[in-house]
Amino acid sequence: MPKHSHREKILTEGLKVVHAHGFANASVRDIVRAAGVPQGSFTNHFESKEAFGLEVIELYRSRNAETIQQTLRNDALPPLQRLRAYIDAAKDRLNRDQMRNGCLYGNFTAEASDHSERIRQRLLEVFGEVRLALAYCLRAAVKAGELSPGLDCDEVAAFIVSSMQGANLLSKAERSTVPLERFKEILFTMVLRRTGSAEPLADCG
């Protein structure tokens, strides 16, 4: 394997190790073993484990950004359909690993933010990007007449971010997507209906 490919291999396989075992519990030895590269390759490409963690967050973020472009920021779809699709994508991700890994952002927040200010600040920026995408989608729903002009899109977007993180955490603990499904049901049948449209929303199944 060419040396220049070691970096990507370490990041790709290292993300899986960190996601499955946690950042603190994922040793450098575990990471390079999963990547199938010499241990020295890690220090050749990353100045510290913190630097590696930041790049793992970026890799995960790039994948989530693709999902956001296909859902929340996809102007070809009706806005509330985009929001449902975004939540369903999170559910699909949970199902792929049998609810064992949860959301990498939430895992890092719980585990690493107390020990790394750089990681904490980056996570805040990433959560902010997600919140902006959600607010964009909600504003599109208001403009399309799917929700009333009285909806506070920024506040509801912040609520969705925090609620999805909590639902992901409970889904990981319960080994079930029920918490995320419950969140989605309440969001569309009560929260958006109560704070936005006076009309019942379409079935959110």
What pLDDT is stored for residue 99 in this prediction?
A: 66
Residue-level pLDDT at 198: 41
Per-residue pLDDT of the chain (205 residues; tens, 9 = 90+): 445 578 999 999 999 999 888 888 888 999 999 999 998 889 999 999 999 999 999 999 999 999 999 999 999 999 999 999 999 999 998 888 776 777 888 888 888 777 889 999 999 999 999 999 999 999 999 999 999 889 999 999 999 999 999 999 899 889 899 999 999 999 999 889 744 444 444 443 3
Q: Per the CATH hierarchy, to which homologous superfamily does domain 1-46 belong?
A: Homeodomain-like (1.10.10.60)
Predicted local confidence at residue 200, as pLDDT: 43
pLDDT at 86: 97
Domain ranges of the chain: 1-46, 54-195
Residue with tokens 């079930």: 176
| Multiple choice CATH, 54-195, 1.20.1060.10, 3.10.180.10, 1.25.50.10, 1.10.357.10 | 1.10.357.10
Is this model's pTM higher than 0.75 or not?
yes
